[in-house]
A and B are shown apart, each in its own frame.
Chain A
Amino acid sequence: MEAVFLQLLNGLDKGGAYALIALGLTLIFGTLGVVNFAHGALFMLGSFCAVSLQKVLSMSMKVRDESVTFFEAYKEVPYLEIWFGDAGKALIDWTVPLALLITIPIMLGVGYVMERGLIQRFYKRTHAEQILVTFGLAIVLQELVKAYFGANPIPTPAPEIVSGSAHVGAWFGLSDAIVYPWWRLIYFLFAFAVVGAVFAFLQLTTFGMVVRAGMADRETVGLIGIDIDKKFTTVFGLAAVVTGLAGVMYTPVLPPDYHIGMEFLVLSFVVVVVGGMGSLPGAVAAGFLLGILQSFASMTEIKSILPGIDQIIIYLVAVIILLVRPRGLLGREGVMED
């Protein structure tokens, strides 16, 4: 029971990341009908927003170390700490949450430029060509980041206050031994909040209503006299933001390197396919489902029966779903069918 509970928890944060990326991917796919292989690169750009902010905030100068009296010693002290003392220190500590604020405008801009500059030329081309050009774009973005930040993973720690673990077990009256890192708990809640916000945006605002109508029947909405292309550009930006935020928040869990996007890209496509192409709730549900399944598959009890299952479970599920339920879990009729 306790082991099951722990695995459930373990699956949630990864599931949250999958769900957010798949949500962005589905938004793009459902509205624009474009298969975006550069989506992993957006995730990576998001996480490198956090890295850049950390670089900027912790710019430092050499200062004489007063605590060493025998000889002249110098230490690096960030400017912020020199200027603002403890407040500056706290600012550096809170890099990752602060990065969320700068990521939103940056990713909105990136999404806008990407859609206007490249994707819009590919609406009428085949899916294969869309895959190819966005794959090329992903390589370009990835290599640019590598050229600037280097190839090694860059650690970006979470704020000090949430660096420990929560005694989750005690909250639910289970063993006190069940602990879970605070940050991953926060990640899960964050993912939940973002998903909620996106759904609320689509369901409750006029803009969202137009977008949903456009997803259902683009031409008719255009005939009514709504400039649907403009709305869809915004949606692309929104999808980029969602994915970028997922990337920012994931940096304390996994130090980002330039390649992180490619790893998530394959998984997120699998998630989208399992959830059903073009279905937003499907993408979210499948994201959490696969995250949890993966964490269960890595339990030693299960691994001893089926060795290696933890490595392939996600792909296996995807293959089975695609074959027995071609539309995915919650796929709509007529989306991407041959």
Chain B
Amino acid sequence: MNMKDNILVLIFGAVILTMPLWAGIVGAGYPDLLQKFAIFGLFAIGFNILFGFTGYLSFGHAAFLGIGSYTAMWSFKLLTMNAIPAVLFATAVSGLFALAIGFVALRRSGIYFSILTLAFAQMCYNMAYSVLTPITNGETGLTLTATDPRILDAATTEGLPSTELFGMGLSGYNGFYFCAIILIIGFYISVRLYRSSFGLMLLAVKSNQNRMKYTGLNTKPYLLSAFVISGMYAGLAGALMVVIDPLAGAERMQWTASGEVVLMTILGGVGTLLGPFIGAIVIKYFENIFSAFNDAVLNQVFGFLPDFIQGIWVSFASLFVGKGWHLTLGVLFMLIVIFLPGGAMEGFRRIAAKFKKEKEAHSAGGAE
């Protein structure tokens, strides 16, 4: 951790905390969306600690997200509506699950690791839907009820309670700031990890695990720690989801949800500090913008075109917006993997390098 990193974290924090002020300019200025930015950003940053640092591609991180959600929900139901215990419990419990799953899954690497994590996540998902219904409430999802025991603060709340932080409600911008502060802490920890000798060890495993083993080093504890930490991030993100909206359903454990966080990480730039967060924001932002588009809006936007071209173009474009947003996502994702495997961060770097070169060429030309 050097001066540069401190500045990075400070700028990151400042940008996040002032988000409600400037996000309105780009049409994202409402708390729902900003909360999503923070939560999925945290999820992606955590996922990156595993995939980005060690190169182990997990397809089962949504399971931890779901476990975190359920745990937080039970903390609300049994203990108190305060968000702090819920968040702590969720992180701890998902960490335990990650320890168990990681212990088994990390015995293999490469594609086998991906399939093992996928298998575990599917098991969790299927069980949440079927046998574990008493805990997860199956298809309906787990919700708060007025009759929950809530042993710590049942006496002080009336009717259907809402989540709070020492008496402060957590809806709207309050919720956003709560998530944002946790996100900034999460980011800070991930920067610290990246710069620590532990992080260096993970990067070494990524570049050549065999060589690390030949030097007599047991890589397993390092990998397992990374897996558990990243599982805890996912659980934390899951807990934040129910802090914002107290409803936990099994569908957020489905393997396509794990796929989504992979998409975010790749899109932003795997293995970089900021990349996963950028990926999460880009996906959630465009999901929001694109989903709101419909044919009427498209016709309005492309109204300047001649009628017959407009008709064809609008019907073509409508494939990609509204409900077809996932198609855009898929296409975008493929293009990124094919042409820009480093994601958005590599894109920035390439552009920056180009400018630098041009500048150099320019100054060289001027010297002549």
Interface membership of A135, Cβ < 8 A: yes
Closest to B262 in A: A132
Interface membership of B104, Cβ < 8 A: yes
Q: Say whether B127 contacts A132, CB under 8 Å.
A: no
Interface membership of A269, Cβ < 8 A: yes
The interface residues of chain A lying within 8 Å CB-to-CB of B157 are: none
CB contact list, B144-180 vs A, under 8 A? none
Query: What does DSSP make chain A's interface, helix, strand, loop or mixed?
Result: helix
The interface residues of chain B lying within 8 Å CB-to-CB of A307 are: 131
Shortest B101–chain A CB gap in Å is 10
Q: Say whether B331 contacts A311, CB under 8 Å.
A: no
The answer, among B131, B262, B329, for a CB contact under 8 Å with A308, is B131
Given contacts A133-B337, A137-B330, contact A266 B266 (CB under 8 A): no
**How long is the Cα–Cα vector from A127 to B334 in the complex, in angstroms?**
15
Given contacts A311-B126, A315-B120, contact A273 B326 (CB under 8 A): no
CB-CB contacts of A319-335 with B at 8 A, as 1s and 0s?
Answer: 10011001000000000
A142, A144, A273, A312, most chain B CB atoms within 10 A: A312
The interface residues of chain A lying within 8 Å CB-to-CB of B57 are: 128, 131
Interface membership of B303, Cβ < 8 A: no
Q: Say whether A143 contacts B122, CB under 8 Å.
A: no
**How long is the Cα–Cα vector from A136 to B263 in the complex, in angstroms?**
9
Shortest B278–chain A CB gap in Å is 17
CB-CB contacts of A9-41 with B at 8 A, as 1s and 0s?
Answer: 000000000000000000000000001000000
Interface membership of B6, Cβ < 8 A: no
Shortest A114–chain B CB gap in Å is 12
Q: Say whether A139 contacts B326, CB under 8 Å.
A: yes
The interface residues of chain A lying within 8 Å CB-to-CB of B119 are: 270, 315, 318-319
Interface membership of B327, Cβ < 8 A: yes
A35, A146, A311, A336, most chain B CB atoms within 10 A: A311
* One of B29-37, B105-113, B185-193 at the interface: B105-113
- 16 other contacts beyond A135-B262, A136-B333, A311-B129, with CB at 8 A cut-off? A118-B334, A118-B338, A127-B111, A133-B338, A136-B334, A136-B337, A139-B326, A142-B326, A143-B326, A144-B327, A269-B118, A273-B115, A311-B130, A318-B116, A319-B119, A338-B109
- A-B contact list, 16 entries, CB within 8 Å: A136-B334, A137-B334, A138-B330, A139-B326, A140-B331, A142-B330, A143-B326, A143-B327, A144-B327, A146-B323, A262-B256, A311-B126, A311-B127, A311-B131, A315-B123, A318-B116
